[in-house]
């Protein structure tokens, strides 16, 4: 039984193949970043497919995501890096998850968690080399380093990693890229100088993994590229990079009906039929994560969709639960006809990147914001698990 008239079809083989492609392009280990519910693709299925493709590490932003991966039976290395006071750090340490130290207060919190768990917590020092977001500034590092090395001597913590994140990885020639890499090298030197025996130094997200082998170090941390989307769409497409988009968003038309010319469509009549035509109603809207910014308004076409092999566009405003497409005069589609909102881009089909451009955002936001009520339907090896 089809319980919902739309779904995100997730190709697990594409995720595995994308990780294989990334792995083949580096001598470093690969951490597949599966935060944000696997960038909307499903945390556990995405993680399993990434492991199959050769990811020796998984990256989760939130601590609960890391714990959930372990609870689902993942036995490999997992790193989590973003938490606030009150986070379930003891559970993370008990689950043998590596945890970032990204602020001075993290040290004491992790020491407490390690004592409660009765085991040593493996930590990665997250240094802010210039992004200006999470992480220890160069000014904070010396004192935090003293504290973590004291905790290491007591057996509470083990410093196994140092990592950082770029501000302009998607602009590989931006001067800050070199500056951050140099700052990172200084931080690594300081940590090793304090006596830490580092397993992994890591700096590269998808864009740096694909454009800058000089910063791969021991481990790369691709996220968006694992899901087949280009982190550098102005420079290269998914296809150029050998990546296959893993998510296809599709729906069945709920209503198809003829309308005369001059008829406004959807709220505020932002689209007016140019002549006699047939319109189709797609049962997906902004409550499902279709951006309202993808509307076709003020004479501008909305985000592209594909119906019956034709590339069409959203006509008028995207509503909470539905949107309208002008199928064109004489269109033969009936209710139930398949609409592809975005997918692999094969044969000229619409992509999440096209949607990002229509909405004035990035493909990351298109896939991660897909609503919880849109069922994920898995295909490929492991889909039945």
Ligand X SMILES: *Cc1c(COP(=O)(O)O)cnc(C)c1O
Rank residues 172 and 308 by Cβ distance to ligand X and give the closer one.
Answer: 172
Q: Which of 231, 243, 241 minimizes the C-alpha distance to 356?
A: 231
Q: Which active-site residues does the annotation give?
A: 35, 267
Q: Which is nearer to ligand X, 92 or 224 (CB)?
A: 224
Binding-site ranges for ligand X (CB under 6 A): 33, 35, 61, 81, 165, 205-206, 221-225, 231
Comparing CB distances to ligand X, the nearer of 210 and 281 is: 210
Nearer to ligand X, 41 or 165 (CB): 165
Helices 175-193 and 141-153 pack at an angle, to 10 degrees, of 40
Least distance CB 5 / ligand X (angstroms): 30
Task: Name the residue nearer to ligand X (CB basis): 89 or 278.
Answer: 89
Kindly state the DSSP code that residue 316 receives in the 8-state scheme.
B
Shortest spacing between CB 35 and ligand X, in angstroms: 6
CB of 131 to ligand X, least distance (A): 9
> What is the DSSP secondary-structure string of 218-257?
TEE--SGGGGT--S-TTT--HHHHT----EEEEEE-SEEE
What's the min distance (Å) between Cβ of 126 and ligand X? 8
CB of 251 to ligand X, least distance (A): 26
Beta strand extents in the chain (DSSP E only) = 6-11, 29-33, 57-62, 77-82, 98-101, 121-126, 157-163, 200-204, 219-220, 247-252, 255-259, 264-265, 271-272, 277-282, 304-307, 310-313, 323-326, 338-342, 376-379
Q: What share of the chain is helix, strand, coil (3-state, %, to 5)?
A: 35, 25, 40
**C-alpha 57: how far from chain center:** 16
Tokens 């898995």: give the residue: 378
Joined together, the tokens standing for residue 119 give: 């085991």
């Amino acid at each position: 039984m089809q319980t919902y008239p739309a779904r995100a079809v997730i190709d697990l083989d594409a995720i595995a193949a994308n990780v294989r492609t990334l792995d083949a392009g580096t001598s470093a280990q690969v951490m597949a970043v599966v935060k944000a519910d696997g960038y909307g693709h499903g945390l556990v299925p995405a993680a399993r497919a990434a492991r199959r493709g050769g990811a020796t590490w998984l990256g989760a932003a939130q601590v609960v995501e890391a714990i959930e991966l372990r609870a689902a039976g993942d036995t490999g290395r997992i790193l989590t890096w973003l938490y606030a006071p009150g986070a379930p750090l003891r559970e993370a340490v008990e689950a043998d998850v590596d945890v970032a130290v990204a602020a001075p207060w993290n040290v004491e919190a992790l020491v407490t968690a390690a004592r409660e768990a009765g085991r040593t917590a493996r930590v990665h020092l997250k240094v802010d080399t210039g992004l200006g977001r999470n992480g220890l500034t160069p000014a904070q590092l010396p004192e935090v380093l003293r504290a973590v090395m004291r905790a290491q001597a007591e057996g509470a913590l083990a410093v196994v990693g140092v990592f950082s994140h770029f501000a302009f990885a998607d602009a590989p020639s931006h001067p800050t890229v070199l500056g951050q890499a140099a700052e990172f090298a200084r931080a690594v030197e300081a940590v090793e100088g304090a006596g830490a025996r580092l397993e992994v130094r890591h700096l590269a997200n998808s864009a740096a993994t694909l454009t800058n082998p000089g910063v791969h170090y021991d481990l790369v941390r691709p996220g968006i590229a694992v899901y087949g989307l280009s982190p550098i769409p102005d420079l290269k497409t998914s296809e150029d990079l050998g990546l296959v988009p893993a998510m296809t968003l599709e729906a069945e038309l709920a209503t198809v009906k003829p309308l005369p010319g001059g008829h406004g469509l959807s709220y505020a009549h932002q689209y007016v039929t140019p002549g006699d035509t047939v319109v189709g109603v797609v049962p997906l809207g902004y409550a499902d994560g279709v951006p309202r910014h993808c509307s076709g308004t003020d004479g501008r076409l909305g985000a592209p969709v594909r119906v019956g092999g034709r590339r069409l566009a959203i006509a008028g405003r995207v509503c909470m639960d539905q949107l309208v497409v002008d199928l064109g005069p004489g269109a033969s589609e009936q209710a139930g006809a398949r609409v592809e909102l975005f997918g692999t881009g094969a044969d000229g089909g619409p992509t999440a990147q096209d949607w990002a451009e229509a909405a004035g955002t990035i493909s990351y936001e298109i896939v991660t914001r897909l609503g919880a009520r849109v069922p994920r339907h898995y295909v490929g090896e492991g889909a039945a698990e």
